[in-house]
Amino acid sequence: MPGGPHPRDRYQCNFAADANFFRTLLQPASSAIVGSAQTHTMQKVIRRTALARNQAKRKAIRAEKKEQREEWLTVSRQRASFDRIQHDIVRAERERRREDWMRGPLAPRRDVGTEAKQYGALPATVLSQPPIPKHLRRRYFNIHPGDRVCVMKGKDKGKIDEVVRVNMETETVTLKTLNRANIYFPDFYMKAYKAPGNIQILPLPIPVDDVRLVVPLDDPDTGSSRDVIVEHVYGGEPIMEREWGTSTPKHTRYISGLDIEIPWPRSQTLKQDDQVWDTLRMEVETPTWQPSLLEAPFPPSVMDEVRNKYSKYRTRHDPEWVEAKTLEDLRQEYLQSRTLLTPRGEFSMMMRAKKEEERKSSRDADGNLIMSPRTVGFIERFMKQNVKEES
């Protein structure tokens, strides 16, 4: 506008001032307030954080399912390869046995020649069984090295032996003297590990479902203790804290149906000799830091180094940042409440607001209109006139 400032310049102010200034400008008494479509920066930030967290959860669920599918595919391939090797061994043995029976004295000698080293031995692949997917493994593994178990399947069925090794990934156990076989190792293995020969007698792993725990229980009739084969065992609470260096499981195992606790075998604690460079126990147990309620445990600036200051997952914000966002909201509300009107337009808006206020004041608490004294007097005179005419 030539010759003077823009009419809206009279509403310009310093928006970095105190928030009370904006709240004063936004009082309901002002005739230019617009009560809709107001921006709230903090609400946007909270909504953005909630959406980001939900998106991260969905992404984590999809990643977990994808990982399970890939793990299941890998395990299936390993299981198929292991079963194929087992079937090939059985099929080859059947063919050789039938050939020896059919040819009789003319049967070929297989203990000589290029395959003489592998005669009567299994490949080393039978020692490494495929693992079980993590989501299908047992929560509590109730067999530990040192336990006595009874074999329920195979050539050693009914025999009792001690467990020397447990593999929780494949859920198999290795016994001390049972289920042994001749294992063939190639020449490069002999050179790398300095093995005494190509064929070694080693125990094969047994699935945990093919063995049963043997527990000594007291006989109530005779009063003596005897070994009992436990059919079902379950694990549960209490969860104990074990000493450092021991491999004893933390859970407790019981006999199903009787709820008799089965003690774990004693495990040898890892012993370490004290050396000159070891820290003394007295120095380790001496407290060197005393917390104080008057001082923070670390400077506030360290928090920005520990976590991402501008992370979209952040839920706790600095007071200065919140105050700045509040001022920004008030600034937006103030700008939206101001309109460029002529004096006639402002007068019309004021009259409409006045009429709206009178209309609201003419209603009772239930929202019904209250008749004016003039209307009540007219109705009263009309009813009296009708009564006189009828009489």
Q: Is the distance from CB of 165 to CB of 98 less than 8 angstroms?
A: no
How far apart are the C-alpha atoms of 184 and 189, rounded to whole Å?
A: 10
The pLDDT assigned to 26 comes to: 47
CA atoms within 13 A on the CB side of 145: 12
One domain for residues 255 and 144: yes
Pairing type for strands 122-123 and 180-184 reads parallel
Residue 120 within a domain:
no
155-171 burial by CB neighbour count: b if 16+ within 10 A, else e?
ebeeebbebeebbeebb
The pLDDT assigned to 316 comes to: 81
Using 50 as the pLDDT threshold, list the residues of the chain that sit under it.
Answer: 1-18, 25-39
Closest CA to 177 of 159, 193, 191: 159
Q: 13-69 pLDDT, tens per residue?
A: 444 444 555 555 444 433 333 333 334 677 888 888 889 999 999 999 999 999 989
**Burial of 97 (C-beta count, 10 Å sphere; 0-12/13-18/19+):** exposed
One domain for residues 78 and 172: no
Residue 357 within a domain:
no
The pLDDT assigned to 148 comes to: 92
Closest CA to 118 of 199, 191, 178: 199
One domain for residues 156 and 231: yes
The pLDDT assigned to 20 comes to: 56
One domain for residues 165 and 249: yes
The pLDDT assigned to 194 comes to: 76
One domain for residues 165 and 237: yes
Residue 303 within a domain:
no
One domain for residues 85 and 209: no
Hunting for tokens 């400008």 — which residue is that?
25
Number of domains observed in the structure of the chain: 2
Torsion of CA 81, 128, 234, 145, to 10 degrees: 170
Residue 58 within a domain:
yes
Question: Which residues span the domain enclosing 76?
Answer: 42-108
One domain for residues 252 and 155: yes
What average pLDDT does the structure give for the chain? 81
Predicted TM-score (pTM) of the model is 0.59
Q: 279-316 pLDDT, tens per residue?
A: 888 888 888 888 888 888 888 788 778 888 888 888 88
The pLDDT assigned to 24 comes to: 54
The pLDDT assigned to 246 comes to: 81
**Residue 152 is part of a domain; what is its CATH number?**
2.30.30.30
The pLDDT assigned to 91 comes to: 92
The pLDDT assigned to 21 comes to: 52
Q: What are phi and psi of 281, to 5 degrees?
A: -60, -35
The pLDDT assigned to 328 comes to: 83
